[in-house]
């Protein structure tokens, strides 16, 4: 009974390890999907926003350049427009700086996206290492289980041999008891015969005594 209980516990432990293995796989896959989705959504949102701002800024820059060109042409014709040009120049400069800032933000987003990719690769590598560790644990457990089963089979074989020997000894003992019973029966029969002979002798002796 103890051997069967040990085997049951080993099988139960093996099933538990398989369940834990599957749970860890599901968690790793879910975490990977969540990271991919969150990173992808955030990057797409920022890229879209940056692209929209950049496009809007470029339109404003183009409009300002056209206004500046018109102002410069008008300046040649009307000296009074010189003040307007001076007002537009810092605005255009600010718009150019804004465009450069947005371009830098886009480059930064690309860099961060590359960093997220490296982090994702790291997570995948850690997951593969975890899977390898679990596989090694399962292999070691299977080897331990096989050894336990082999030992149990050897012990069962030894027990069977001992049981066979005990059965053989029991059969010998039974045959011995039968022989003893037969001997006792023969001795009882012999005693009865001797008692009969004694009674005959006593009867004969009695008759002889009375004759005397």
Say what the pLDDT of residue 207 is: 57
Phi/psi of residue 50, nearest 5 degrees = -65, -40
The verdict on pTM exceeding 0.85 is no
Mean pLDDT for 41-49 is: 71
pLDDT tens digit sequence for 139-168: 887 888 788 778 778 877 787 777 778 788
**Per-residue model confidence (pLDDT) at position 129:** 81
DSSP annotation string for 87-118:
HHHHHHHHHHHHHHHHHHHHHHHHHHHHHHHH
pLDDT digits (tens, 9 = 90+) for 112-122: 766 766 666 77
pLDDT tens across 77-135, in order?
Answer: 655 555 665 666 777 777 777 777 777 777 777 677 667 666 667 767 777 787 787 78
Mean pLDDT of the 176-201 span: 81
């Amino acid at each position: 009974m103890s051997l069967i209980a040990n085997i049951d516990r080993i099988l139960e432990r093996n099933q538990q390890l398989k369940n834990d293995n599957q749970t860890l796989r599901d968690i790793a896959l879910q975490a990977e999907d969540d990271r991919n989705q969150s990173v992808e959504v955030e990057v797409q949102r920022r890229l879209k926003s940056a692209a929209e701002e950049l496009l809007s800024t470029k339109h404003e820059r183009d409009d300002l350049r056209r206004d500046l060109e018109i102002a410069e042409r008008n300046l040649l014709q009307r000296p009074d427009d010189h003040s307007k040009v001076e007002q537009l120049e810092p605005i255009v400069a600010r718009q150019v700086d804004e465009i450069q800032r947005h371009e830098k933000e886009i480059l930064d987003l690309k860099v961060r996206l590359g960093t997220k990719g490296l982090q994702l690769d790291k997570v995948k590598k850690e997951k593969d290492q975890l899977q390898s560790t679990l596989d090694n644990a399962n292999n070691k457990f299977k080897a331990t289980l096989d050894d336990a089963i082999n030992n149990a089979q050897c012990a069962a074989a030894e027990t069977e041999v001992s049981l066979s020997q005990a059965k053989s000894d029991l059969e010998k003992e039974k045959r011995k008891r039968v022989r003893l019973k037969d001997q006792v029966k023969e001795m009882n029969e012999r005693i009865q015969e001797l008692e009969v002979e004694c009674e005959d002798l006593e009867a004969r002796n009695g008759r002889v005594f009375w004759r005397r």
